[in-house]
Amino acid sequence: MSFRKQALLGATTILATALAAASASAEDVKVGILFDVTGPIANFIPPMLDSVTLVTDEVNAGGGLLGGKMVSVIGDTTGSAQGAVDAATKLVNVENVADIVGALMSGTTIAAANSVIVPTGIAQISPTATSPDMTTLADNDWVFRVVPSDAYQGQVLAKLTMDQGVKKVALTYANNDYAAPLAKSFADSYKKLGGTITGEVKHEEKQPSYTTELATLSKGGPEALVIIAYAGDSGLTLVKESLENGLFKRFVGTDGLRDNLLIEKIGADNLKDSFFTSPSSPKSEAADKFNELYAAKFQTTKDKIFIGQVYDSVMLAALAIQQAGSTDRAKVRDALRTVANAPGESVGPGDWAKAIELIKAGKDIDYTGATGSMDFDDAGDVAGVIGHFVVDGTGYKEVGLVTP
């Protein structure tokens, strides 16, 4: 064989291999997972990533996504605004994902939205970002979430605090996008209900000590200290120093504080009179099905916060792509409300194969999630529900749902 023929044959082989690789690559549909893997909520993340795996495996076992495989691509925000922008940029420009689930913290979610999501034009669904500022975000309808706004959780926390017979509290909250709006909502609602806030301090994160702030807050006879902060950041230090200095014995917190890390470091006995609020889910067949699916693959759902919200967000992200019939980002965004909102045939956790058959048949679907209705309003918000939690042994126990 001549050198020329060998070269031609070699080039043809290389071209065929490249085309085959390109074809295989084209079959994969990427969904971006923008999570705060490291940083103040790192303790929450492993079970949430299990929910991502649960959806991805279900999709690929039930017919795939657009006829190919679904691939979940993880981006770590590092729990910081700049980290969120960097990770989102890579997901959008390098990984070329069709849509994004995340981020988780309000600050990282808003930072990614303002700098990457909205300018680029890609749908973003947060499982856990609760800041009221997201409702009024100038996002051109690119940003969604499946948890209720903290404007609502603040009202719920105020009512629960009064219902627990706590009429005077001191309040401290972290200076971030999550804590500050939630603290304002709580304070306004608590005062309207007749409660008294004896002292209020906004604190900076990552300080080695808060003894000065706590000494000020202990004045005026408060019955409890309301802490709106992440346990993995300032929350743990505030509780620890309150107990060590005999300043507070009872604590009231939200989902950021409801971290197993708090129990591990403080001890259940020291938290037996404390209580917390956190987004939750109503009792339903969809919730039962999700719990069954998750426990079958990952042993238990106990003390795994926000796993249902993550499942719902990833499932919606996949359903929107399937409904759009392509990875065109504008079409995916427009399809999101189609699969999430009524009317349509009801589908839920475990129903991926059923859902894609309905979509292929040209029928509307209405996804009802593990955590309740996923009907998005004009701002991309859902109604959601808030649970009342107490410390129970080595974990937290939900003792009821709270409505304001």
Identity of the residue numbered 98: A
Q: Which pLDDT value is given to residue 15?
A: 35
Burial string for 335-372 (b: 16+ CB within 10 Å, else e) reads bbbbbbbeebeebbbbbbebbbebbeeeeebbbbbbbb
The strand pair at 29-35 and 100-102 is best described as: parallel
**Calpha distance 188→152 (Å, rounded):** 12
Q: Which two tokens stand for residue 4?
A: 């020329």
Q: Which pLDDT value is given to residue 18?
A: 36
Strand partners, 273: none
Q: What is the CATH number of domain 28-148+284-382?
A: 3.40.50.2300
Two domains, one topology: 28-148+284-382 and 151-281+386-402? yes
The strand pair at 365-369 and 372-373 is best described as: antiparallel
For the chain, what is the largest distance between any 2 Cα atoms, rounded to a whole number of angstroms?
Answer: 96
pTM above 0.75, yes or no: yes
Query: What are the DSSP E strand ranges found in 112-247?
Result: 124-126, 143-145, 168-174, 196-203, 224-228
Q: Which pLDDT value is given to residue 375?
A: 96
Sign of the torsion formed by the C-alpha atoms of 144, 284, 279 and 403:
positive
Q: Which pLDDT value is given to residue 319?
A: 98
Q: Which pLDDT value is given to residue 71?
A: 98
pLDDT tens, residue order, the chain (404 aa): 433 333 333 433 333 333 333 333 448 999 999 999 999 999 999 999 999 999 999 999 999 999 999 999 999 999 999 999 999 999 999 999 999 999 999 999 999 999 999 999 999 999 999 999 999 999 999 999 999 999 999 999 999 999 999 999 999 999 999 999 999 999 999 999 999 999 999 999 999 999 999 999 999 999 999 999 999 999 999 999 999 999 999 999 999 999 999 999 999 999 999 999 999 999 999 999 999 999 999 999 998 999 999 999 999 999 999 999 999 999 999 999 999 999 999 999 999 999 999 999 999 999 999 999 999 999 999 988 999 999 999 999 999 999 87
CA 105-319-150 angle, 5° bins: 25
Q: Which pLDDT value is given to residue 119?
A: 98
Alpha helices in 68-140 (DSSP H): 81-89, 106-112, 118-120
Q: Which pLDDT value is given to residue 48?
A: 98
* CB neighbour class for 382 (10 Å; exposed up to 12, middle 13-18, buried from 19): buried
Number of C-alpha atoms within 13 angstroms, CB side, residue 142?
22
Q: Which pLDDT value is given to residue 97?
A: 98
CATH class as words, domain 151-281+386-402: alpha beta
Alpha helices in 251-351 (DSSP H): 260-266, 285-298, 307-324, 329-340
**Do 347 and 370 form a contact (C-beta atoms < 8 A)?**
no
The strand pair at 275-280 and 385-392 is best described as: antiparallel
Q: Which pLDDT value is given to residue 6?
A: 38
* CB neighbour class for 269 (10 Å; exposed up to 12, middle 13-18, buried from 19): exposed
Q: Which pLDDT value is given to residue 403?
A: 81
- Cis amide bond preceding 113, omega within 30: no
Domain ranges, ordered by start, for the chain: 28-148+284-382, 151-281+386-402
CA 369-370-374 angle, 5° bins: 30
If you ran DSSP here, which 8-state letter would residue 270 be given?
A: G
Q: Which two tokens stand for residue 222?
A: 């408060």
Q: Which pLDDT value is given to residue 13?
A: 36
